[in-house]
């Protein structure tokens, strides 16, 4: 998990600890039962905090899901970057980034759907929401890095193509938000589209 925050007084440290307890509790419960079948009370109980305290760390249950998925997403992106580094073929390398990202949004299909819904329609001013958008851009940047290896692609072409791939990932996941598809099927579908777009 990629932590970004800085430590200071006891207050800050306590806050950090609680945030992590909440994240862990929510992640486990969401993964096991699905977002809709977990109450905020249960999460609070598991995290050993008061029911109201939860809402000091995430304004809504939806934001809480963003919080949880973000931490999984950050891990997935790291994994994808590492995998891509050792793959010479550009299409393989892009796929290596795509797979874990798709995977972490499909641990529970309904959770993935709810996550995307929050991402698109939640309040973009909320901190966890901003984090989510940042991760999206970081994914795009990772893809662009891979694309730049192909010297037929200039800086601009790589950036645009990366955004297009990012859009395809998003649309593929959103369009299937209600449908049971395996991660492999989704990844293959995205890979096919990307294959068409890359220079031959």
Residue 107 makes CB contacts below 8 A (sequence gap 6+) with 31, 72
Return the sign of the alpha-carbon dihedral for residues 162, 135, 1, 45. negative
- The single residue among 33, 34, 46, 59 that binds DNA, judged by CB under 7 A, is 59
Q: How far is the CB of 199 from its own copies (least distance, A)?
A: 23
Which window, 6-14, 23-31, 110-118, 170-178, contacts DNA (CB under 7 A)? 6-14
37 binds its own copies (CB under 8 A): no
CA 103 to chain centroid: 9
Could you say which residues in the range 81-140 bind DNA, by CB under 7 A? Answer: none
152 binds DNA (CB under 7 A): no
Exposure string of 56-94, with b = 16+ CB inside 10 Å and e = fewer, is: ebbbebbbbbbbbbbbbbbebbebbbebbeeeeebeebb
Could you say which residues in the range 84-123 bind its own copies, by CB under 8 A? Answer: 113-114, 116-117, 120-121, 123
Q: How far is the CB of 159 from its own copies (least distance, A)?
A: 19
Nearer to DNA, 65 or 153 (CB): 65
Assigned token pair, 92: 């393989």
Residue 3 contact, options DNA, its own copies, none, Cβ 5-8 Å cut-off depending on partner type? none
| Cα–Cα distance measured from residue 106 to residue 112, given in angstroms and rounded to the nearest whole number | 5
> Which residues are at the interface with its own copies (CB under 8 A)?
113-114, 116-117, 120-121, 123-124, 174, 177-178
């Amino acid at each position: 998990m990629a932590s970004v925050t800085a430590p200071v007084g006891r207050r800050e440290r306590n806050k950090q600890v609680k945030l992590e307890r909440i994240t862990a509790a929510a992640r486990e419960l969401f993964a096991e039962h699905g977002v809709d079948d977990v109450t905020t009370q249960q999460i609070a109980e598991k995290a050993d905090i008061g029911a109201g305290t939860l809402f000091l760390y995430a304004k809504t249950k939806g934001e809480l899901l963003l919080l949880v998925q973000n931490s999984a997403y950050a891990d997935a992106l790291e994994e994808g970057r590492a995998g891509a580094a050792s793959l010479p073929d550009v299409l393989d390398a892009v796929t290596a980034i795509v797979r874990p990202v798709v995977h972490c949004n499909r641990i529970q299909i309904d959770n993935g759907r709810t996550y995307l819904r929050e991402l698109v329609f939640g309040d973009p001013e909320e901190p966890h929401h901003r984090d989510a958008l940042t991760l999206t851009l970081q994914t795009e940047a990772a893809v662009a890095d891979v694309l730049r290896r192909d010297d037929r692609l200039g800086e601009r072409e790589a950036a645009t193509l990366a955004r297009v791939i990012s859009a395809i990932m998003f649309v593929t996941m959103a369009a299937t938000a209600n449908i049971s598809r395996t991660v492999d099927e989704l990844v293959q579908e995205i890979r096919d589209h990307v294959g068409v777009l890359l220079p031959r």
